[in-house]
A and B are shown apart, each in its own frame.
With several copies, the nearest count.
Chain A
Amino acid sequence: MNATPDPEAPVDAAFVRRWLDAAAAAMDRESARLTELDSPIGDADHGTNMRRGFLAARTAVEQDPPETPGGVLVLVGRTLISTVGGASGPLYGTLLRRAGKELGEEQAVSAARLRDALRAGVDGVAALGGAGPEDKTMLDALLPALDALTGALDAGGGAADALAAASAAADEGAKATTPLRARKGRASYLGERSVGHQDPGATSSALLITALAETARGDV
């Protein structure tokens, strides 16, 4: 592990573990709100699901900490798949597993590689769930986040700023799901009645990206 992180390759296993702690804390804290969002257009379990999964992932990583950022992400993804269930378990599990696999054995990676990993993960979510933009799913937070991250990095921004931009975009994206009519997942059964409610999965995605930005900023 790097005592003084390489500014060019700031993302190591410790970074991902700090992110995991922040993410797990966010899921724990926001569990009731996520479940509340999942009530009018879902089955009132999203907060419980995410909380259970991320607490389990943190325990798994603490018990047998992988040494690479990719290794941590893969283990988190696998733990989510094994403990969450529901739609979000396989989807978030795939997101993180694919992202981790993209990083391979690398010990520390740049923000650009993290962006590649996120892209691989998001592609995995889209392929598995078959959803696209504006279907009122977690992709409506993840895709804007990916775009913002890419844009900021392309414009020469640093990791922390780029992730802050991604976090803002994810937040925006989550909020923008409110007027949408759901076409995937449980909310789609409601048809027009799904309009007017913010998507719980997009909301949890925004929380995860925000945790990432906080980690980069050194807040956690």
Chain B
Amino acid sequence: MKMLINVAENVVADALRGFAAAHPELTVDVERRVIVRRGAPYEGKVGLVSGGGSGHEPLHGGFVGKGMLDAACPGEVFTSPVPDQMVRAAAAVDSGAGVLFIVKNYTGDVLNFQMAAELAEDEGVQVVSVLVDDDVAVTDSLYTAGRRGTGATLFIEKIAGAAAEEGAPLDRVAALARQVNAASRTFGVALSACSTPAKGGPTFDLPEGELELGVGIHGEPGRERRAMMTSGEIADVTVEAVVSDLNPDGPVLVLVNGMGATPLLELYGFNAEVQRALAERRVPVARTLVGNYVTSLDMAGASVTICQVDEELLRLWDAPVSTPGLRWGC
């Protein structure tokens, strides 16, 4: 599998150098792998820190900026970051108002953020962690590590970020983040596996004529393999999975998220079918976002996330945001 890289070991370091060059408005510590919003810490503002394995860009580094994250900690490809990164990030963004860790529910992320929280608290930073676990493809959570954190991360970072920007205190920001997580569901589909630089080839085999339902964002195979379907059929399976699990009784935000290699043209066409499938299930749509936001390297496919919103959440969603990956209202 050909890649636009130098050597596999340096992929993340190279990307950080290139990210730094493209985004002088952010402070990028390439060596220590922490991306911080310029000017942080902001007086009286709760600091938002997230992070996770690389390979999901623009998540998380692309969501650092006004109205969203204060810092992001990129790990190796598909490998959660180490505690040192989060400790450093927490120290960099804490104004005294405390720090929120937004942690996707994977064993590695959970353990590393947990260690970091303990170390940061030892250094006098008040840390609250919220777990993102929106992926309905993981069902029997008694026998698993629990639902994975995927697309809802964007909703949580945006909405909690807007609240923090307005000066909400730590417990309120954390409560909003938990509310968004509880109100969000995601289901993902892969048409092809992704290739990690370390492996140099696809992380699993997906024959022509088949697709993988219920995939995560780490090149893991999904839970079920089926014969290839049309965009409309995929939308039905996907929307049914999230709607039947959430049972929304009000308007939702919709994220139609590309896994990386699926052209935007196809993604928009898929969105048309997702909107149809939601309308058929009488789910009113408040806002729709279509694009590559929570990716899985060069995987082809898409995920759909819905999040039921009340007026407050919708207001916070619409609030100004200015980051490399998401920008509006400012």
Contacts and interface: CB of A to CB of B under 8 A. Distances in A.
Interface residues of A, number: 36
A121 to B, nearest CB: 15
Contacts of A191: 139-140, 143-144, 223
Interface stretch (A77-85, A108-116, A171-179): A77-85
Contacts of A84: 79, 82
Interface string B196-220: 1011000110000000000010111
Interface string B227-242: 0000000000000000
A135 B217 CA distance: 23
Given A44-B196, A128-B111, A184-B145, A189 B216 contact: yes
Among A43, A47, A52, A129, max chain B CB count under 10 A is at A43
Contact of A45 (B77, B82, B143): B77
A91 B107 CA distance: 10
Contacts of B75: 85-86
Interface stretch (A1-9, A34-42, A66-74): A34-42
A158 B312 CA distance: 69
A11 B111 CA distance: 30
Contacts of B114: 90
B115 interface: yes
A217 interface: no
Nearest to B197: A48
B78 A189 contact: no
A48 B144 contact: no
Contacts of A52: 76
B242 to A, nearest CB: 17
Contacts of A91: 111
A185 interface: yes
A185 B80 CA distance: 13
Given A48-B76, A183-B143, A85 B199 contact: no
A91 B115 CA distance: 11
Contact of B198 (A45, A89, A181): A45
B221 A86 contact: no
A89 B108 contact: yes
A87 B107 contact: yes
Contact of B204 (A40, A181, A185, A188): A40
Nearest to B77: A45
Interface in B1-51: 8
Given A90-B111, A91-B111, A49 B220 contact: no
A85 B81 contact: yes
B199 A44 contact: yes
A208 B260 CA distance: 37
Interface in B82-139: 82-84, 106-108, 111-112, 114-115, 137-139
Nearest to B215: A189
A220 interface: no
A44 B79 contact: no
Nearest to A186: B220
Contacts of A193: 221, 223
Interface in A175-218: 181, 183-186, 188-191, 193
Given A45-B198, A91-B111, A189-B138, A81 B220 contact: no
Given A39-B204, A86-B75, 10 more contacts: A39-B203, A40-B221, A45-B79, A47-B198, A85-B53, A85-B80, A86-B108, A87-B80, A89-B111, A191-B139
7 contacts: A44-B198, A82-B83, A85-B79, A86-B108, A86-B112, A90-B112, A188-B143
